[in-house]
């Protein structure tokens, strides 16, 4: 895990708290202790990524009311109850009310540790699923989200969020298919310029004789073939964001003028003497190392320094394999909604293929596979991609993570197929009601998102 596992401990007996915290800290847990329920509740936030352990009998507020208050804030937050000998029946009631588990005092450290480890995995899956649902909603509204929980993606998002509303120009470096335009759109969509234009230009796709007029605009008659006035991309993007992809392809002769426009924030169309002021952010992207190109004279060093005020590097997919299942699921769900076809669950062998593949085409390649998976079915999709199961492979996911991912997709598939009917889903998966509810809670499949059970008949 990237961050220490968190646990909040609540008990009116400070000596018990100290003993619990000391033992768990030695196991690598990040502990906070509370003797007052009100203090804990006042500091609890919806994105809390840990587990709460609370005593059942406390003078200020009993454990059941504390549990109710916690679950009112977040119905999927794991709460483990510590109970005395005579409190087992009350603890059972608490389990029915939504507690994750209960442990009798004196506390068995190994048992507590086992419960905590299971609970924190459940919590992380719940938060991950919420993020995915939020990202899907944003995608449906046209807002760009960057999907992935790997350290490289977390670091990149933190950098992007720091500069969202600054006027600084940005240089994005990433391999083909890694999502450079997506990152640029994320910066635009989440900035104060989001209501203005996002204008994209692939510098490598424009003929050299036309790129100046594309960028800066031109007056009628400015050159042979310029039969009418043309608004350049700089002027068209004024107030918003201009994205210049494959900036390394810009001819050296054009780079001189590009540098002047970036420095002066003014553009003069070809054939005109009237400079126009600009208020826009410029985001440039490259799949090559501009510093190396500058060293060989193939890219202007002064332009490189001007563009490189903020440098964002997108990690290739092979360096963040833990994001592959989440990305695949996201793309498959989008394809399912677009093509009105169901999403089949990945088998273990298929998931292993995804994790073992080097992904030279990065996220774009994965998205294409996910769309084929929905459109053509698993076998045809994997065959077209040329993915075969190797004899040996190093999986980025542990056994428990892979099993959980597969289980979650099976439950989601059954819920979708039965239109949210709990009874039909129980029959399809051969699961008792309580087990199904527990697993739905574990994977963040909110009951509120499903049809009313009273209408099941």
pLDDT recorded at residue 446: 53
Distance CA 258, CA 249 (A): 13
Lookup result for tokens 């690598």: 28
Give 357's strand partners: none
Secondary structure element (H or E) that encloses residue 153, with its range:
helix 151-162
- Residues 435 and 408: their CA atoms lie apart, in Å, by 13
Confirm if 246 and 176 have CB atoms less than 8 A apart.
Answer: no
Residue carrying the six token digits 């500091």: 43
What is the Cα–Cα distance from 210 to 223, expressed in whole angstroms? 10
Per-residue pLDDT of 114-144, as tens digits, reads 999 999 988 888 887 777 666 666 554 456 7
Tokens describing residue 35: 């003797």
- What CATH architecture applies to the domain 151-314? 3-Layer(aba) Sandwich (3.40)
Q: Which residue has the tokens 């009116």?
A: 12
Helix orientation angle between 109-140 and 433-442, rounded to the nearest 10 degrees: 70
SS3 (DSSP) at 81: strand
How many other CB atoms are there within 10 angstroms of residue 278's CB atom?
18
Give me the pLDDT at residue 389, please.
45
Q: What is the pLDDT of residue 31?
A: 95
Lowest mean pLDDT among 46-55, 397-406, 407-416: 397-406
pLDDT in tens, 140-191: 445 677 888 888 898 999 999 999 988 889 999 999 999 999 999 999 998 9
Q: 452 falls in which pLDDT band (50, 70, 90)?
A: very low
Please, where are the H alpha helices in 265-398? 290-295, 301-307, 324-339, 348-356, 362-376, 378-385
Mean pLDDT lowest among 69-78, 253-262, 341-350: 341-350
Q: What separation in angstroms does the CA of 362 have from each of 212, 321, 324, 373?
A: 32, 11, 10, 17
pLDDT at 398: 60
What is the predicted pLDDT for the residue at 20? Answer: 93
What integer is the mean pLDDT of 407-422? Answer: 74
User: Which carries the bigger pLDDT value, residue 448 or residue 364?
Assistant: 364
What pLDDT does 393 receive? Answer: 41
Above 80 in pLDDT, residue 3?
A: no
Burial pattern 23-33, b for ≥16 Cβ within 10 A else e, equals: ebeeeebebeb
- Number of alpha carbons in the 13 Å side-chain half-sphere of residue 156: 29
In DSSP terms, 55 is beta-bridged to 82
Q: Residue with structure tokens 């999403």?
A: 343
Q: Which residue has the higher pLDDT, 420 or 4?
A: 420
CA 354 to chain centre: 18
In the CATH hierarchy, which fold is given to the domain comprising 5-129?
Rossmann fold (3.40.50)
Task: Give me the pLDDT at residue 443, please.
Answer: 73
**Distance between CA atoms of residues 413 and 73, nearest Å:** 28
**H or E stretch covering 155:** helix 151-162
Domain borders along the chain are 5-129, 151-314, 318-456
What is the share, in percent, of the chain residues with pLDDT greater than 90?
Answer: 44
- Percent above pLDDT 70 for the chain: 87
Instruction: Give the whole-angstrom CA distance, residue 442 versus residue 122.
Output: 5
Structure tokens at 364: 């774009």
N-to-C CA span, the chain: 44
Residue 39: Cβ within 10 Å count: 12
Fold agreement between 5-129 and 151-314: yes
Q: Residue 182: which of 204, 153, 224 has the closest Cα? A: 153
pLDDT surpassing 80 at residue 378: yes
Average pLDDT of span 381-401: 62
Structure confidence at residue 265 (pLDDT):
95
Task: Specify the higher pLDDT residue, 262 or 227.
Answer: 262
pTM of the model: 0.59
Is pLDDT of 455 > 60? Answer: no
Give the pLDDT confidence score for residue 399 in this predicted structure: 62
pLDDT at 87: 66
């Amino acid at each position: 895990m990237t961050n220490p596992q968190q646990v909040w401990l609540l008990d009116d007996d400070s000596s018990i708290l100290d003993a619990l915290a000391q033992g768990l800290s030695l196991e690598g847990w990040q502990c906070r202790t509370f003797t007052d329920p009100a203090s804990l509740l006042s500091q609890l936030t919806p994105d809390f990524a840990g587990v709460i352990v609370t005593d059942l009998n406390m003078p200020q507020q009993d454990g059941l009311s504390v549990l109710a208050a916690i679950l009112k804030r977040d119905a999927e937050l794991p709460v483990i109850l510590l109970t005395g000998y005579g409190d087992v029946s009350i603890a059972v009631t608490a389990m029915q009310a939504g507690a994750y588990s209960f442990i009798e005092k004196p506390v068995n450290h190994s048992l507590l540790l086992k419960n905590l480890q299971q609970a924190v995995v459940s919590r992380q899956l719940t938060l991950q699923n919420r993020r995915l649902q939020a990202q899907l909603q944003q995608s449906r509204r046209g807002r760009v989200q960057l999907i992935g929980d790997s350290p490289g993606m977390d670091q990149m998002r933190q950098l992007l969020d720091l500069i969202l509303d600054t006027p600084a120009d940005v240089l994005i470096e990433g391999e083909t298919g890694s999502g450079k335009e997506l990152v640029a759109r994320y910066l635009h969509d989440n900035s104060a310029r989001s209501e203005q234009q996002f204008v994209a230009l692939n510098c490598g796709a424009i003929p050299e004789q036309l790129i100046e007029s594309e960028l800066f605009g031109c007056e009628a008659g400015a050159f042979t073939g310029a039969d009418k006035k043309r608004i350049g991309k700089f002027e068209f993007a004024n107030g918003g964001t201009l994205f210049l992809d494959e900036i390394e392809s810009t001819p050296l002769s054009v780079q001189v003028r590009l540098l002047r426009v970036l420095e002066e924030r003014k553009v003069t169309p070809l054939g005109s003497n009237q400079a126009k002021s600009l208020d826009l952010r410029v985001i440039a992207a490259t799949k090559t190392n501009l510093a190396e190109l500058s060293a060989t004279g193939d890219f202007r060093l002064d332009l490189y320094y001007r563009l490189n005020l903020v440098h964002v590097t997108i990690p290739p997919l092979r360096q963040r394999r833990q994001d592959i299942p989440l990305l695949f699921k996201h793309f498959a769900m989008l394809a399912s909604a677009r093509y009105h076809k169901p999403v089949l669950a990945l088998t273990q062998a298929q998931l292993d293929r995804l994790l073992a593949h080097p992904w030279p085409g990065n996220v774009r390649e994965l998205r294409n596979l996910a769309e084929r998976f929905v459109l053509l079915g698993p076998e045809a999709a994997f065959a077209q991609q040329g993915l075969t199961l190797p004899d040996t492979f190093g999986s980025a996911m542990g056994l428990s993570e892979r099993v959980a991912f597969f289980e979650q997709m099976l439950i989601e598939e059954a819920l979708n197929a039965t239109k949210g009917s709990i009874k039909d889903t129980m029959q399809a998966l051969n699961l008792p009601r309580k087990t199904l509810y527990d697993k739905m809670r574990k994977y963040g499949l909110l009951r509120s998102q499903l049809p009313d059970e009273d209408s099941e008949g």
